[in-house]
Amino acid sequence: MQRVTIHRDGVALSCLVGGSGDEVVVLLHGLAGSAAEFVPTAEALLPEHRVIVVDQRGHGHSTRRPQDLSRRAYVEDVLAVVAELAGGVPVTVVGQSMGGHTALLFAAEYPELVRRLVLLEGGVGGREERGDYPAELGAFFASWPVPFADVRQAAQFLGDTPVAQAWLRDLDRRPDGLWPRFEAGVMRGAIAAVADRACWDEWQRVQAPTLLVFGEHGIIPAAEVRRMVSLRPDVERVVVAGAGHDVHLEDRGAWVRALGQFLHR
């Protein structure tokens, strides 16, 4: 895949682009992730689809310390990507976790640009039943003893979970050591915007056919999932057995099958 950078509102947005099909799929990673973790998903969709994998602002190879971390900023970033890299045609937008929240808001705001919507362990946001998760996540990322001297030290701290392996593969090598491709404070600010309110009105405004994919042991509260489905009984829902929040990293086969079947309907 080819890396392409576009600019909007003083922010550089780095994207991986590949494929040549008529259908365009835009992939949005979650908090503290990057486009790299969705490359296997993108490759499974090639060459039948044209795929755009976005490093969202504050992540990956995009601007590391953007001033604006509002939900509006993330949505308008997707609009810029679709306009410049997809030619403004309706796309399938796929998002995991925070990326799913971005995708949901984009679909509600720009229904004419969304052909289909896929939320992977994504919900409506807010704090109900979740506690102060922005503070918890911010504290976790701030606890990383960076820079890491080498991959071994990083692995000793991060562990060997699928998401830890994704972080290890994506570390930024600098003269003083290895750094994550994000700032802890930026991550706290970005997720605080998601937690600010539950976007139930936006969820009900989505017009595109929608697929919800959850891990059996995921983090989206069961009550939230039930309400999402009750408000939009037309949505399709898949639960991946044994998986947690990072379904695309934990059971890529099941995730790709669910996504592929939905895209071929």
What's the pLDDT at 235? Answer: 98
91 domain-assigned:
yes
CA 48 from centre of chain:
22
pTM (2 decimals)?
Answer: 0.97
170 domain-assigned:
no
What's the pLDDT at 190? Answer: 98
The CATH number linked to 112 is 3.40.50.1820
What's the pLDDT at 89? Answer: 94
146 domain-assigned:
no
What's the pLDDT at 22? Answer: 85
39 domain-assigned:
yes
Mean pLDDT, consecutive 10-residue segments, the chain of 265 residues?
Answer: 96 96 94 98 94 98 98 98 96 98 98 98 88 91 98 97 97 98 97 96 98 97 96 98 98 98 93
Domain residues for the domain of 113 are: 2-126+196-263
204 domain-assigned:
yes
What's the pLDDT at 3? Answer: 98
153 domain-assigned:
no
172 domain-assigned:
no
93 domain-assigned:
yes
| Total number of domains in the chain | 1
